[in-house]
């Protein structure tokens, strides 16, 4: 008996009386067949569901056989035929080198996000990302880490404030990818990732069930790091910097409190009304840095708000920008990359939607989840720190980054959704 199951696709209706119409893959002696219709978006979802079906049946090795397997159909199948620990193997029908690289990068992103919080903490996250990028481009990488109280000396007050209560010190990681090795080369883009390696909520503490998956709160950092890895593999020849804002949001006698005021390096003051709105506090330091180095393009990614999930679910990521032309280009890129992305509202006046009587702004509204429009208000907070009044800046609230349980499309855990779109944006 073969140790590998062949998987075919066919373009005619299935006539298998023994199988339910809801079955994405129909099994026979020759293997599995996926019957497709005329709508390609629906076809890709069905192919991904077929991958999940075969994984849940206990199949661990497949060969994509026959005609009709273009790159996107193979990638959709790969996303479905992936258990949480990425142990399944695929023999590709075509484009094997590119698909293997994509699957390996996605597996690395998922592994980072899925690691338990006793293994992934600010310094270990920074080191794992450093090791990966150094291995991919050893002659083009320079790394700077600012750790613990050194953050105060550098004025990175958001990262330090959020992370100071943990025994694992907070870290700001800057990875400089400079393929021309010209120290004076302009920085084409800065990628900023929220790297909250565990989020208790601080004194605005989460419930036990709400805290269980909070190892995934560094999903933004993993996603932008994976995007840079993928872009380098695809031939990126521009200078790009990766900035990861890493901290554990925990509680002890030194933890930041409701009513505290943070003064940032650019002079802006922020009153804390919710210690569980910590992601925007650390990202502000990254945005200030991006302005200091005059980056042309700035992209941040974060598992920032539950409100984004309420708006778009977990099949999509949410996009915010006040740069309409750039936002539309990015939505087009996401469509090309077959990653679901939806733009949510952001206007200049969103900067003022979290008012404070004691500081320039509060970090949220003093309501559960930040109240109505919470995702836009969080983006509005970030807009305060984005250079050039937000021109050239994109904010990804990655609502689809993690699933607490398996579903018809994804295994339990991280998805890596978004890394292809961000990588393609760098290459464009």
| Closest to 79 (Cα-Cα) out of 345, 315, 281 | 315
Active site residue 87: no
Catalytic residue (choose from 60, 206, 296, 329): 206
The dihedral of CA 305, 311, 317, 319: what is its sign?
A: negative
Q: What are phi and psi of 198, to 5 degrees?
A: -160, 140
> Measured between alpha carbons, how far is 168 from 243 in angstroms, rounded to an integer?
19
| 364 CB-near residues (< 8 Å, 6+ apart) | 273, 274, 277, 354, 370, 374, 377, 378, 381
> Measured between alpha carbons, how far is 215 from 115 in angstroms, rounded to an integer?
7
* Other CB atoms within 10 Å distance of the CB of residue 348: 11
Catalytic residue (choose from 49, 156, 194, 280): 280
Rg (CA), the chain: 22
* Widest distance between CA atoms in the chain: 73
**What separation, in Å, do the N-terminal and C-terminal C-alpha atoms of the chain show?**
47
Instruction: Strand 141-147: give its sheet, edge to edge.
Output: 141-147, 171-177, 240-249, 189-199, 297-302, 393-397, 317-320, 341-343
Chain CA centroid to CA 158, Å:
20
> Measured between alpha carbons, how far is 98 from 130 in angstroms, rounded to an integer?
23
Give catalytic residues, as residue numbers: 206, 280
């Amino acid at each position: 008996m073969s140790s590998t199951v062949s998987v075919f696709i066919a373009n005619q209706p299935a006539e298998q009386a023994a199988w339910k119409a809801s079955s994405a893959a129909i099994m026979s002696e020759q293997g599995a067949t996926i019957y497709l219709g005329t709508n390609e978006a629906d076809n890709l979802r069905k192919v991904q569901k077929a991958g999940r079906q075969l994984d849940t049946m206990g199949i661990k090795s497949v060969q994509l056989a026959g005609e009709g397997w273009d790159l996107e159909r193979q990638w959709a199948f790969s996303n479905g035929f992936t258990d949480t620990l990425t142990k399944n193997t695929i023999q590709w029908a075509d484009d094997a080198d590119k698909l293997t690289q994509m699957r390996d990068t996605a597996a690395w992103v998922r592994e980072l996000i899925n690691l338990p919080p006793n293994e992934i903490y600010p310094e270990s996250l920074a080191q794992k990302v450093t090791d990966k990028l150094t291995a991919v481009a050893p002659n083009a990488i320079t790394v700077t880490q600012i750790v613990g109280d050194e953050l105060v000396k550098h004025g990175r007050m958001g990262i330090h404030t959020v992370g100071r209560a943990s025994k694992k010190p907070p870290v700001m990681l800057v990875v400089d990818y400079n393929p021309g090795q010209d120290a004076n080369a302009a920085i084409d883009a800065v990628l900023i990732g929220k790297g909250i390696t565990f989020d208790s909520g601080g004194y605005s503490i989460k419930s036990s069930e709400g805290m269980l998956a909070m190892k995934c709160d560094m999903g933004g950092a993993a996603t932008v790091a994976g995007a840079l890895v993928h872009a380098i593999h695809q031939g990126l020849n521009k200078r790009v910097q990766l900035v990861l804002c890493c901290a554990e949001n925990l509680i002890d006698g030194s933890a930041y409190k409701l009513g505290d005021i943070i003064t940032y390096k650019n002079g802006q003051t922020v009153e804390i009304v919710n210690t569980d709105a910590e992601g925007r506090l650390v990202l502000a330091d990254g945005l200030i840095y991006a302005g200091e180095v005059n980056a042309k393009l700035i992209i941040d990614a974060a598992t920032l708000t539950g409100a984004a999930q309420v708006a778009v679910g977990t099949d999509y990521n949410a996009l915010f920008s006040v740069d309409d032309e750039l936002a539309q280009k990015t939505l087009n890129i996401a469509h090309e990359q077959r990653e679901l992305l939806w733009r949510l509202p952001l206007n200049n006046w969103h900067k003022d939607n979290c008012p404070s009587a004691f500081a320039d702004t509060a970090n949220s509204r003093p309501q559960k989840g930040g109240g109505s429009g919470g995702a836009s208000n969080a983006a509005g907070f970030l807009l305060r720190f984005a250079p050039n009044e937000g021109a050239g800046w994109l904010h990804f609230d990655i609502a689809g980054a993690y699933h607490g349980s398996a579903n018809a499309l994804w295994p339990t855990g991280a998805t890596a959704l978004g890394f292809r779109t961000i990588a393609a944006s760098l290459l464009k």
